[in-house]
Structure 1
């Protein structure tokens, strides 16, 4: 008969499985510091030797890393889907920028629809809270904070869609965006008219999700990303025109 004796799972293995699951589900984020060994062993109700064994295994897997004198951290795994050489190409290629926007339009539209339908009440509360913080930053005319909250708002929507593959893909993509690989988001938030429009677009996305209207949420994301694409096109045109104007001025300047 194809049956085998049931054996209890080693404590270290159980710890490994729990931490792996927290990383996969996106609860533990890359770069996040874990509690101290004493605190973590108490929370997990395991001995320190069992915890150390689990940590050593997770380090071998490349999921945790130890920093001398600083503790244990979740490994920085975001962005690893692309080689450094390809990332550098993205940074200086216009098609990559606009293909990235199209990618976001498709993926985030789907995520917003899923969030409206599948997000828990807590998920929706997180999204709404972030939007309220965006409103506060907007009122204070703080483009830096508003740009940072913009990324958090979109990631909260993706998290509320409860698709772990989409979650990790988009976290990697937002990490590259935060590093300025595709474009500088903060520049868009420096223009008052653009900032006002962006806030209203986020308001529409949030309202649709709070109403659990998936179709409207997806449409609101499309409107938002189309606006970003047009604004970015205009911004790049203005930068080219300014560079050309400076070149003409330099050429026409009287020579001493």
Structure 2
């Protein structure tokens, strides 16, 4: 008969399973510090030796890392999504930028549709709260806070879609965007008219998701990323034109 005696699970394995789940669901994020050992053991209701065994297992699995004198942190596992060689190729070829935006258009449109259908009320509250911060940041001359909140807004939608594969893949993509691999997102917020249009587009996305209008949410995301792609094309064209004009001025100066 194919039955085996049930063995009780070690407490440390239960701790491992819980922390793995929190990382997988994106609740514990890369670089996030775990509570101090005593506090975490109390929260989990386990002994400190059991907790240490679990931490050691997660450390060996590459999910946690220890920094001397600082504590235990969730490992930065996002960098493994793309090799350094591929990241360098992304950064040096224009077509990667627009393929990236096309990829985001498809995936984030789906995420917004899922968030409108499947997101919990607290998920939607987070989306609304981040947009409220974007509105407040919009009045500032320095666009850096608004640009940062833009990324948080889009990630909140992806989190609300409740697809863990999409979550980790898109978090990795946004990490590359944050470090300027594809383009400097702050450029998009420096022109007042563009900045106002972006806020209106984010408002439309928020409104559709909060109304649980799945089709409307997807369309709002697609319109937004189409706008971003076109604005980037215009920016690249303006840069090329400026370079040509500079060369003409230099040539004219040499003729005199």
For the residue of structure 1 that corresponds to 2:226, the secondary structure is helix
- Map of 1:52 onto structure 2: 52
For the residue of structure 2 that corresponds to 1:72, the secondary structure is strand
Distance 1:118 1:245 in 2: 52
For the residue of structure 1 that corresponds to 2:182, the secondary structure is coil
- Map of 2:141 onto structure 1: 141
- Map of 1:27 onto structure 2: 27
Distance 1:85 1:93 in 2: 13
| 1:80 has 2:43 as partner | no
For the residue of structure 2 that corresponds to 1:110, the secondary structure is helix
- Map of 2:95 onto structure 1: 95
Deviation at 1:248, TM superposition (A): 2.4
| Worse overlay, 144-153 or 244-253 | 244-253
Deviating beyond 6 angstroms after TM superposition, the runs of 4 or more aligned structure 1 residues are none
- Map of 2:229 onto structure 1: 229
* TM-score for both structures, normalised by structure 1: 0.97
Distance 1:244 1:57 in 2: 59
Task: Trace 1:132-171 onto structure 2 (pairs within 5 A).
Answer: 132-171=132-171
Deviation at 1:204, TM superposition (A): 0.4
Deviation at 1:46, TM superposition (A): 1.1
Task: Trace 1:1-256 onto structure 2 (pairs within 5 A).
Answer: 1-253=1-253
Deviation at 1:252, TM superposition (A): 2.9
For the residue of structure 2 that corresponds to 1:198, the secondary structure is helix
Deviation at 1:199, TM superposition (A): 0.5
| Worse overlay, 42-51 or 146-155 | 42-51
Q: Which runs of 5+ in 1 are unaligned?
A: none
* TM-score for both structures, normalised by structure 2: 0.97
Deviations 1:161-200 (A, max 9, x none): 0000000010000000000000110011000000010000
Count of residue pairs the alignment pairs up: 256
Q: Which runs of 5+ in 2 are unaligned?
A: none
Deviation at 1:254, TM superposition (A): 5.5
Whether contact under 8 Å (1:79, 1:173) holds in the other structure is no
Deviations 1:80-134 (A, max 9, x none): 1210010000001111110000000000000000000000010000000111111
Deviations 1:27-54 (A, max 9, x none): 0001111111111111111111111111
Distance 1:75 1:180 in 2: 22
Deviation at 1:150, TM superposition (A): 0.3
Deviation at 1:249, TM superposition (A): 2.3
CA root-mean-square deviation: 1.3
Distance 2:168 2:230 in 1: 27
Deviation at 1:246, TM superposition (A): 2.0
